[in-house]
């Protein structure tokens, strides 16, 4: 489980909010409990709650397709050259030249013939991978391919007729109830429940391409690569990271959305890697744009090209350092993360029209897309 340190002010926000609300009532005039209940009561629709009394049916459908993953890695140990002297070898104990490190995570079976989705950081640099199924079977797995840019990997086990977790086809929304299934701390398969706290989270600095589902369902080390499912037992995300001060759950977890995970999985299975468009430019937001008139309605800084790779597709197409990106294929540029994802979605060797603001004038350039070079796993 990848852990990002929580910002200190997050812990204070609830206290400040409570004090401000409590002090908003005039002295000696705080309302009665009855009046508060009447003011904030939900309207009576005359019906009964339609929410499930138990999530057991969803768990029964999803849990058999969530696996535990155990990996080992041989790590070379540095030995002082002086200890290679015959005297040390004769009089002292022989120091080990390598050690074995082990780790654990989770995965999701996505096909009955043995393909499994998990996180790249769960299997990166692993020398051996063992998958443990819910029915007690354990089997070796091999890596079909990885995508460090989204922290996803596809494994394969030599089994068939496996239970499969179906991808959710409809959109999820903030407030939807979700279940996280995985192997936290290696204690065994565990289910936790929460809601979707936010969708489309980006700019976190966790992955190159970010479009996270945020949830308050408890996610801990060992949950990485496990399933985030809806109340019908459909896969809506692959659990990947948390914000934490302690290393454990603080109610801020992130999952890679199922549509992105499915697209990455399909590319890896069919091509061995994910094919993405590439311009060879560095993108950022800066005050070095072309004046206040270039800011959007929210007062955000313009999205500019901070650097251009010599000889890359962007330079060949006429893009320059300092250009402010306005549109890509007629889609308005709203943020650095948004335009990075959009560029990646374009196919290599195709033409892309890019509108930039340069020296106060709008220019439309036609650029032939390149293919993004394969990235190394973050643990390598």
Q: Which residues are identified as catalytic?
A: 121, 151, 224
Per-residue 3-state assignment (H helix, E strand, C coil) for the chain: CEEECCCCHHHHHHHHHHHHHHCCCCCCCCCCHHHHHHHHCCCCCCCCCCCCCCCHHHHHHHHHHEEEEEEEEEEECCCCHHHHCHHHHHHCCCCCCEEEEEEEEEEEECCCCCEEEECHHHHCCCCEEEEECCCCCEEEEEEEEEECCCCEEEEEECCCCCCCCCECCCCCCCCCEEEEEECHHHCCCEEEEEEEEEEEECCCCCCCCCCEEEECCCCCCCCCCCEEECCCCCEEEEEEEEECCCCCCCCCEEEEEHHHHHHHHHHHHHHCCCCCEECCEEEEECCCCCCHHHCCCCCCCCEEEEEECCCCHHHHCCCCCCCEEEEECCEECCCHHHHHHHHHHCCCCCEEEEEEEECCEEEEEEEECEECCCCCCCCC
């Amino acid at each position: 489980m990848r852990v990002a340190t929580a910002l200190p002010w997050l812990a204070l926000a609830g206290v400040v909010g409570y004090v401000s609300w409590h002090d908003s009532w005039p002295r000696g005039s705080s309302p009665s409990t009855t009046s508060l209940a009447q003011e904030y009561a939900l309207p009576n629709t005359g019906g009964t709650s339609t929410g499930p009394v138990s999530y057991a049916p969803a768990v029964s459908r999803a849990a058999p397709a969530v696996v535990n993953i155990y990996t080992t890695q041989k790590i070379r140990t540095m030995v002082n050259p002086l200890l290679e002297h015959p005297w040390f070898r004769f009089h002292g104990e022989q120091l080990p030249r390598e050690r074995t490190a082990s780790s654990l995570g989770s995965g999701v079976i996505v096909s009955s013939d043995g393909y499994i989705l998990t996180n790249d950081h769960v299997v990166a640099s692993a020398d051996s991978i063992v998958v443990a199924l819910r029915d007690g079977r354990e089997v070796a797995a091999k890596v079909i391919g990885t995508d460090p840019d989204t922290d996803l990997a596809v494994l394969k086990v030599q089994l068939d007729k496996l239970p499969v977790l179906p991808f959710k086809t409809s959109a999820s929304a903030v407030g939807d109830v979700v279940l996280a299934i995985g192997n936290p701390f290696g204690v065994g398969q565990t289910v936790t429940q929460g809601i979707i706290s936010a969708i489309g989270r980006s700019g976190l600095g966790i992955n190159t391409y970010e479009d996270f589902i945020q949830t308050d369902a408890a996610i801990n080390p060992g949950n990485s690569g496990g399933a985030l499912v809806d109340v019908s037992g459909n896969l809506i995300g692959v659990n990947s990271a948390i914000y934490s001060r302690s290393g454990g759950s603080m109610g801020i977890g992130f999952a890679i959305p199922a549509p992105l995970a499915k697209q990455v999985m399909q590319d890896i299975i069919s091509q061995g890697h994910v094919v993405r468009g590439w311009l060879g430019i560095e993108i950022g937001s800066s005050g070095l744009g072309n004046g206040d008139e270039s800011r959007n309605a929210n007062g955000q800084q313009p999205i500019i090209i901070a650097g251009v790779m010599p000889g890359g597709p962007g330079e060949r197409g006429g893009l320059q350092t300092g250009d402010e990106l306005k549109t890509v294929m007629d889609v308005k540029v709203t943020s650095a993360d948004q335009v990075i994802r959009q560029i990646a979605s374009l196919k290599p060797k195709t033409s892309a029209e890019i509108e930039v603001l340069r020296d106060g004038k709008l220019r439309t350039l036609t650029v032939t897309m390149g293919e993004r070079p394969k990235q190394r796993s973050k643990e390598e």
